[in-house]
Amino acid sequence: MAKASITFEDINITVTAPAGTRLIEISEKVGSGIVYGCREGECGTCITKVTEGWNNLTEPSVLEDKVLRENMAGKHNRLACQAQVLGGAIKVKPV
């Protein structure tokens, strides 16, 4: 199975995880400062800055785009509970 390499910049830890894993699952296990709320893409608590590897994550859904807009999220932000890793290298940090 394809693996992705996700670096959590706030704690300086890189995790290799299977493609399809949601960022929040990895973040939670490794203890990054990315925190979650509803885990269902609704509350915006887990907004995360993607500093590298944007295209190595699944595309945001229409719903995620809407929540990001409503929360006035920045350009390179994603919801960690929605974004799944696809492969390659990704770097993220809490906003």
Partner 1 sequence: MSKPPVLTIAGIPQAVALSERVHWIGGLDPALRTFDIILKTANGTSYNAYMVRGNEGVAIIDTVKESFADDFFARLESVASYDEIKVIILNHLEPDHTGALPELMHRAPQAQLYISQKAQSMLKALLKQDVFAFTPVMSGDKVSLGDRTLTFFHTPYLHWPDTQCTYLVEEKTLFSGDVFGCHFCDARLFNDFVGDFRFSFEYYYAHIMRPFKDYVNKALDLIEPLLPVNTIAPAHGPLLRDQPQQYVQRYRELSRSALLNEVSAGEKTLLIFYISSYGNTRRMAEAVYEGAMAVEHVRVSLYDLEGSEIAPFVDLIEGADGLIFGTPTINGDAVKPVWDLLSSLAVVNLKSKLGGVFGSYGWSGEGVKMVEDRLRGLKLRVPIPGIRIKLIPTEEEIQVCREFGRQMAQDLLGLRQAKVIDMADLA
Cα 32 from Cα 28, distance rounded (Å): 7
Task: Compute the least distance from the CB of residue 54 to partner 1, in Å.
Answer: 21
Q: Does 15 bind partner 1 (CB under 8 A)?
A: yes
CA distance 67 to 90: 22
Q: Is 42 in the site for partner 1 (CB under 8 A)?
A: yes
* Contact flags string 65-94 toward partner 1, x per CB under 8 A: -xx--xxx---------------------x
Angle formed at CA 17 by CA 44 and CA 92, multiple of 5 degrees: 40
Name which of 36 and 78 has its Cβ closer to partner 1: 36
Q: Shortest approach of partner 1 to residue 15 CB, angstroms? A: 5
32 binds partner 1 (CB under 8 A): yes
Instruction: Output 43 or 58, the one with its CB closest to partner 1.
Output: 43
What residues contact residue 22 under an 8 Å CB cut-off, 6+ apart?
80, 81, 82, 83, 84, 85
